Structure 1
């Protein structure tokens, strides 16, 4: 039997050239199929048929890679200061869309709490928020500081609701609290007794809109 001859490189299909966009695309595919925990430099390197050390030419580290994933996902919401309605309604709609996006990707939401997002889509989101604040008469100083607070709120909500088990436990706790409120001793807890079921009233959307209005009112107060 003759020895098996090595296959010439000329007979093999050429690998696609490694690029930052190719790395991000591979990372997104892994995110959708396997979750953020599986988006590691080595896993992405295997997906693009490259050594993991080569990826560091295009992304600094795993944190940078995750930030780029978030920026790519932000392309889904096409942030804009335009549209119908007043500036508050448009701003709340934009922030709600951002929060819903994070809610669909809980791992990304948790990452966004500790990693500074970057990239053109995130810059477009920030620009749209600042434009709406300016339209509403918010001062430049308040807007410059307030944009972080406004983006943090939907991020925190997405993280809070990212665990179905915790959500179920929270719902059970609120239901039990609502049952117990009518029996609270007003002599010991006068304010709790006075407010009663108002403490647990309103759905998530209503409370989120209220919270955003509170933040906006604060920014306008300067």
Structure 2
């Protein structure tokens, strides 16, 4: 005769860990890595954490804030300690921004989200602090350094979003191939400047263009005064 199973009391079940903002963001990062950023929703996280969606809003206001927090968590992987023998502030600045851009390359959906996300966590503040320090070593006025960091991050983020899309979406590669064919097939009479600048117009590796573009922005920051806003 089979022994009768003893019912398990609900009181004997282990208590669920208390919800925290850190725990919610950590779960969001796990879901993003395994399922993609589009799955990082309050409902999906509620399932992951065995709770109700309403409970999460106590810690995170909305999905946009959640995505910004995920971005901030990943920014902890950016290489900030770039001081190396024989390198100057410019090389170190480009190295930090390249590390940031490559991080976004690995997460194409997050790269696009980062164009509008406004992270404000510790990792983002550490990144901004490092960029300000390195850019200030150029000797540029404080106002240009302060405004310049925003331009550097915008350029790096937009570059990551563009290239991440091209590398992870087949249709984007098809669009690029079509543009390449169209550019090389233009009539010189109608588009003389395009014809004159080929093949350089479409040449260069991703890393080379990124480094060059960052230096263009840096040079602009150093040599472009901030307009007077006191009037």
TM-score surpassing 0.5?
Answer: yes
- The 5-angstrom pairing of residues 32-51 of structure 1 reads 32-51=33-52
Report the Cα distance in structure 2 between the residues aligned to 1:48 and 1:71, rounded to whole angstroms. Answer: 20
Name 2:32's counterpart in structure 1.
31
Tell me the SS of whatever aligns to 1:18: coil
1:195 aligns with 2:197: yes
Aligned equivalent of 1:87: 89
Q: TM-score normalized by structure 2?
A: 0.85
Give the aligned length.
Answer: 217
Shift of 1:21: 1.2
Taking structure 1 as the reference length, what is the TM-score of the superposition? 0.88
SS state of the match for residue 164, structure 2?
Answer: coil
CA distance in 2, matches of 1:81, 1:205: 17
Q: Secondary structure at 1:15's aligned position in 2?
A: coil
Partner of 1:210: 212
* Separation (CA, whole Å) in 1 of partners of 2:72 and 2:83: 21
Where does the alignment leave 5 or more consecutive residues of structure 2 unmatched? 226-231
Aligned to 2:178: 173
1:73 matched residue in structure 2: 74
Give the aligned partner of residue 155 of structure 2.
153
Structure-1 residue corresponding to 2:17: 16
Paired residues of 2:72 and 2:124 also in contact (CA < 8 A): yes
Please give the root-mean-square deviation of Cα atoms over the aligned residues, in Å: 2.2
Pairwise mapping of residues 130-145 of structure 1 onto structure 2 (< 5 A)?
130-145=132-147
Given that 1:106 and 1:159 are in contact with CA atoms closer than 8 Å, whether structure 2 keeps it comes out as: yes
Gaps of 5+ in 1: none
CA distance in 2, matches of 1:67, 1:192: 40
